[in-house]
Amino acid sequence: MEPLILYFVLFFPGVFASSVPPDASAAGTIAFSVIRELGRTLTYTIPSLALLWYLISLSTSQEDVSGILKKLKKTDLLSFIFGIPGLILIGFAVSFLISLLSHNKGLAPPLKVEAPQDIIGWVVMIIACLGTGYLEESYFRHYLLTKLKNQFPNSIARIAISTILFSVCHIYEGPWGIINAFLAGLLLSMLYTRHKSLHGIAWAHGAYNIFVYTMGIYNS
């Protein structure tokens, strides 16, 4: 019950608050806002991470928690090396489907994100992306996959549940966002199951989000 309650508490307020920013243009582009991203990081991402890791610490020794958060391992680098190109390939594959079906089937493409316009914006964006990476990977991979071990000994079942919940909380991005999140969640869950590395997949997740914003340079 705790994982389900935590899922709705942590992610669904963000889903509804992030659905369509008021500064989304008629051309289908979401303008980058330093104030919006900084506010979301300070009032949502950091408090959510603190709550999540407080609950994790209640069922895990302080030594284990410190080891997870501080100790870097070879597997962290391996997870990142395999994770970031995998996420980018998934993103390009979904983008190709978007361009193909949007023209041929009349399906509306998703909103595009605009890149930051100055150095302060880039710094805030990078911090926000890494924070999101750590929050979502801490919950969907480290916390959830561990919590489900008793109920679902089969790792495939745990990966499926984690991936479905991860994709559903991206519903605000529309059907294309759900598909992208499903494939990305599948990859990240498999990497975590294989390497047990939180840092590696969080870095890959954050780096991919940064990559998406960087591609926004070509949308402007």
Query: Is position 8 within any domain?
Result: no
**CA–CA dist 30, 44 (Å, integer):** 20
Torsions phi, psi of 33, nearest 5?
Answer: -130, 120
d(CA 57, CA 51) in angstroms, rounded, equals 10
Q: Is residue 141 part of a domain?
A: yes
Domain count, the chain: 1
- Predicted confidence at residue 79, as pLDDT, reads 95
Longest dimension (CA), the chain: 56
Domain residues for the domain of 102 are 74-220
Residue 118 corresponds to which tokens in the numbers above? 């100055």
Q: Which residue numbers in the chain have pLDDT < 50?
A: 16-20, 25-26
Look at residue 217 in the predicted model and tell me its pLDDT: 76
Task: Identify whether 29 is part of a domain.
Answer: no
Per the domain annotation, does 110 fall within a domain? yes
140 part of a folded domain: yes
Residue 29 host element (H or E): strand 29-30
Token digits for 56?
């994790």
pLDDT at 16: 46
pLDDT at 64: 57
Cα-flanking dihedrals φ and ψ of residue 30, to 5°? -95, 115
* Chain-centre distance for alpha carbon 170: 9
pLDDT of amino acid 215: 86
User: Does residue 102 lie within any of the structural domains?
Assistant: yes
Measured over the CA atoms of residue 38, residue 40, residue 43 and residue 48, the dihedral's sign is negative
- Residue 59 falls within a domain, yes or no? no
The predicted pLDDT at position 19 comes to 45
